[in-house]
Amino acid sequence: MKILFCSDALTIDGVASYILNTGAALKRAGNEVAVIGRWSLKGGFQERYRHEGFKVITCPSVSVGNMYFDVRAKLFRPDVIMTDPRRSFPLASRIKRLTHAPVITYFLDPVEKTDRPGRDIDSLVKYSDVFTAFEPDTLTQLHGLGTSIPVVKMPRPLDVFFAPSEVPSRESFSILCFGRLSRYKTPGIFHLLGNLRAIQNHIPDFVINILGGGGWRFIKLKYYAHKLNKEIGRHCVNVIGTQLDPRRFIESANLVTASATSAMEAAYSMRPVIAMCSGYFGPLRNDNLDEGLRSYFSERYGEKDFSRLIPDILSIYDRYYDDDFRDGLRKISARLGDEFSEIETVKIFDGIMRMIKG
């Protein structure tokens, strides 16, 4: 089976990560996988795509599609095209017209921002053969569109690159802030950095690693970290930037603050997770995991109040060696592993292709 993923610019974001994880699962199942998309002259996942055996078709381009992509797509002769419903969808519909391959449109966000020509609801319905999603509310939205397009729950696999492992010793207690440094995702980080003294008084050897790219906010955080390290009297805040492979940072972390996929990957790795984004969800527990998924781990909603963040960090530190606390981490990891597994993704994809062919 030849699978062609469409990307807008191959930049490191949620779509690129989904392509990497899902594409790797499908490649390991014996399929041929290619990614097509323009190069925006910024760093992306091209290296990791190639390492996983993907064919990468790219070139600098002002528009999302061009004649070079047309030729390469026809030469690849995809059996199916996979695309998100936003920036890369016009490329997918263009390639569908050329190759007549069916299109699986995966929704990583709610059904919104569909007013743009070429990716409006009518276009999505016209050129898609199947809609997929894994968030409960997004699946409900897709069913509510009332179209004849089949809607399938298809998880993104977490176990392609991540694996559960026991938490490290809490000496030099490492807090990892993991995710893109956008305005939407950084309020909690700034609250955390603004209250370092409260952490220092309780955890004298703490370290904060901030992982992710974000333009001028990265520079702002670099300057802020330098100032705070000077005030504290030691180098305790590190602004690391974008990393192609974040696994070693998660493995060495004692606590991860994140949202969306980053939170899922850390929780599956059996690390304590505080879910936060523009709002605050709080520590993930076995009894709030379903609600965590519904909020996409604070990506969709959360309290606009971060006052619980520092007390929650200190509570996790105090309970770190409790058996009940560790058992909770194992249960969360096991539940995520059951639902968001490579085996499940491949099985559902195969079912979709049988349905399309049928």
Pairing of strands 273-276, 280-283: antiparallel
* Cα–Cα distances in angstroms (integers) from residue 263 to residues 266, 272, 313, in the given order: 5, 10, 15
Please state whether 282 falls in left (phi above 0), alpha (psi between -120 and 50) or beta: left
Strand order in the sheet with 273-276: 237-241, 207-211, 174-178, 255-258, 273-276, 280-283
Name the β-bridge partners of 105: 83, 131
* Cα–Cα distances in angstroms (integers) from residue 252 to residues 189, 196, 313, 330, in the given order: 19, 21, 17, 17
The backbone torsions φ and ψ at residue 311, rounded to the nearest 5 degrees and listed phi first, read -60, -35
Give the integer Cα–Cα distance in Å for 320 and 254: 9
Residues of the chain with pLDDT under 70: 41-43, 113-114
Segment 163-199, tens digit of pLDDT:
999 999 999 999 999 988 888 899 999 999 999 999 9
Segment 59-101, tens digit of pLDDT:
988 888 899 999 999 999 999 999 999 989 999 999 999 999 9
* Apex 90 CA angle, 87 and 93, nearest 5: 140
Query: What is residue 113's predicted lDDT score, i.e. its pLDDT?
Result: 66
Query: Among 119, 62, 126, which residue's Cα sits nearest to residue 90?
Result: 119
- The kind and range of the H/E element at 6 are strand 2-6
Q: Is the separation of the CB atoms in 240 and 225 below 8 Å?
A: no
Query: Among 52, 41, 55, 53, which residue's Cα sits nearest to residue 10?
Result: 41
Please give the radius of gyration of the chain, using alpha carbons only, rounded to the nearest integer.
21
Q: Where are the alpha helices (DSSP H) in the chain?
A: 14-28, 46-51, 67-76, 89-99, 121-127, 136-144, 187-193, 196-202, 216-232, 247-251, 260-268, 289-294, 309-318, 323-339, 342-357
Query: What is residue 14's predicted lDDT score, i.e. its pLDDT?
Result: 84
Query: What is residue 43's predicted lDDT score, i.e. its pLDDT?
Result: 67
* Cα–Cα distances in angstroms (integers) from residue 258 to residues 16, 131, 281, 341, in the given order: 18, 27, 10, 20
Distance of CA 291 to the CA centre of its chain: 18
Query: Among 284, 280, 283, 291, which residue's Cα sits nearest to residue 332?
Result: 284
Helix (H, G, I), strand (E, B) or coil at 140: helix
Q: Is the separation of the CB atoms in 345 and 134 below 8 Å?
A: no
Query: Among 83, 132, 128, 137, which residue's Cα sits nearest to residue 110?
Result: 137
Give the integer Cα–Cα distance in Å for 357 and 289: 36
pTM of model > 0.85: yes
Query: Among 224, 214, 223, which residue's Cα sits nearest to residue 181?
Result: 214
